[in-house]
Amino acid sequence: MPLGARNRINLDLFTDAYRVTGNTTVGVGGINAELVNPNSSYLEIKDAYVSRINQPGEIVTSYTTASFRKDNINFIVLQDRRVGIPVGTQHARSIFTRGRPVPIFLTVPSFEIIGEIAHEGKVTPLNTLVKSTGSYLLIFAAKASASLYPQIAYSGDLIMVSKNRIGLFCLGADNI
Amino acid sequence: MARIFVIDDDEQLLRMVGLMLERGGHNITLISNPHNGLEQLKANKPDLLVLDVMMPGMSGHDLTRQIRETSELETLPILILTARSQDIDRDTALKSGADGYLSKPVTSQELIEQVDSLLTQKAQVSRQSGSVQGMVLALFGLRGGVGKTTLATNLALALRRVSQQEVCLVDLSLSISQAAFHLQLKSQSSWADLLANNNFDWPTLNDHLAIHPTGLRLLAAPPLPQAPSTISTEFVRQVITLLRENMIFTVLDLPPVFNPAFMAVLEISDVGLHVITPDVITVRTAVQTNRALANANINIKQKSFILNQTSPTAQLSQATVERALSGRIPFHVDYDPNQIQALPQGNPLVLTAVDSPLPAVIKRMADVIWKRMAAKMKS
């Protein structure tokens, strides 16, 4: 994308109790840059359609524009990983191309999420959560299930999970 | 050609979906305001609705529920087309009463395939609830090389496209399966496989039908040449009876043979289409064929001529041919240079070159035939 260009991406965004489907406009830095932009604590969603977590297919209300407090976002489901990988790390020798897939299980309020992270080096929660850059953990081929309604699940090529909202965090294959 | 309504608040997407469906041969009405949708649907009763979910003020699920509660629209096929692509979204769409679901972005092929599938399902349901006998059309002529298989294949495809009903093409050729070649279908079985079974039923016959991507079915001819006596009168009667009960249209491509089985086919067909080319030998053959049929007391319910010009120059004018045959020729197919390309590529012209001379006439024929059949089905 040329410098200064803006691009519209579709996303499913989840808070503790709501699912919001819409689109947002991003610049050359992609969705990552918008999420960490220090000039605004809010993320603006266009054509926002709001559903409750227990009835996620039904639309409660819709608005042309909705704003989200960024620290209230649990995770974002994207159907194309290229939209969510930070710009500049998508090609050549980035962690997302040379890292090995590591199975992961984690929880955020109201949801449990499984999938894979791309990781290089020793796999520890410290490395993954603290030493990695960015405020969102990128989980590939991911599935988020509602804790209270496990039959309700959302799949995405990529789920971006807010690190601040993570409760339980498990790395590696299921050992039990 | 089906009448399809598309409801989506995004006018850009609405136009794009409309264009895709138009290219699929359908008649489209675009509605950008879902609040007007129900009234327009009630007033026009389309054949199918393509509906978005995320629309301001009224979701596609709400509109679907309203449609299902409206008595005159309860059987309207509804295809949900939405950017919400989760399994839960599919479940919600189907629970609200939709018949199909596609998530955006969608390719033209996916959309048309799903639309055609829903239209076929609707046709099958309405057919099961009624007891309409299908129409049988036989293309015949005792002179070979007049383009009969080309016309039969294109007519069957055009009928499939215009009606979205079940259509079967039967290649009764005694040499190799030419229709399968036209359609680029590798048929594993043929009518010859049914000959051993004296009393086959519909499921058995259906197992022997090849299916073209458009949904057209084909009963192919055997891969090896057969003697004319191979096909008996009882056999063709059985095949046609079963197809008449289970298909809306059966198009028969008869070989240039004059024997009891093929005379029986002409007698039980609803329409006999005599294919001729504008040359002296073919016209003389046609005149003699008419005499032979009259002498054998073969009464074709409705007979018509198709004048098919297979070379750039016509030896005889249409008026001369009409005088020789003592009858009007309602369908004249001009020489179509595109046919030379279409045959080896396995792409019949009605699917690829709609403005070309051959498909233009074939489409007109299919429209006339389908209108008559639709009226019969309604009554």
Q: Residue A104 in 3-state DSSP?
A: strand
Closest CA to B154 of B370, B286, B339: B339
B285-326 pLDDT tens trace: 999 999 999 898 888 889 999 999 998 988 899 999 999 998
Burial class (CB in 10 A: 0-12, 13-18, 19+), B220: buried
Residue A175's pLDDT is what?
Answer: 55
CB atoms B88 and A56 under 8 Å: yes
Residues A23 and A103 in one domain: no
Confidence of residue B109 (pLDDT cuts 50, 70, 90): confident
- Calculate ∠ Cα B349-B354-B356, nearest 5°: 75
Measured between CA atoms, the residue of chain B closest to residue A56 is B88
Domains of chain A: total: 2
Domain that holds residue A161: 81-171
The secondary structure of residue A137, as a DSSP letter, is E
B61 CA to chain A: closest CA distance, Å?
A: 8
Residue B278 has phi, psi (to 5 degrees) of -80, 65
Same domain, residue pair A46 and A98: no
Question: CB-CB: which of B57, B86, B95 is closest to A155?
Answer: B86
For residue B242, pLDDT beyond 70: yes
Instruction: Report the 10 Å Cβ neighbour count for B57.
Output: 11
- A138 and A166 in a single domain? The answer is yes
- Could you tell me if A56 and A93 lie in one domain? no
Catalogue all structural domains in chain B, each as residue range(s) with its CATH number.
Answer: 3-129 (3.40.50.2300), 135-378 (3.40.50.300)
- How far is Cα B328 from Cα B128, in angstroms, rounded to an integer? 38
Residue A130 has pLDDT above 80, yes or no: no
Instruction: Single out the residue in A44, A74, A104 at which a domain terminates.
Output: A74
| Residue B320: per-residue pLDDT | 93
Would you call B92 and A57 a contact, using CB atoms and an 8 Å cutoff? yes
The token pair that represents A5 in the structure block = 């260009």
On the question of pLDDT at B159 being above 70, the answer is yes
Q: Domain end: A22, A50, A74, which one?
A: A74
A70 and A11 in one domain?
A: yes
Query: Who among A64, A79, A152 is closest to B88 (CB)?
Result: A152
Whether ipTM tops 0.90, in short, is no
Q: C-alpha distances in angstroms, A1 versus A27, B184, B368?
A: 8, 43, 53
Do the domain assignments include residue A2?
A: no
CATH of residue A17's domain is 2.30.30.100
Nearest residue to A20 via CA among A49, A43, A44: A49
Cis preceding-peptide flag for B105 (omega within 30 of 0) = yes
Q: Note whether A58 contacts B: Cβ–Cβ < 8 A.
A: yes
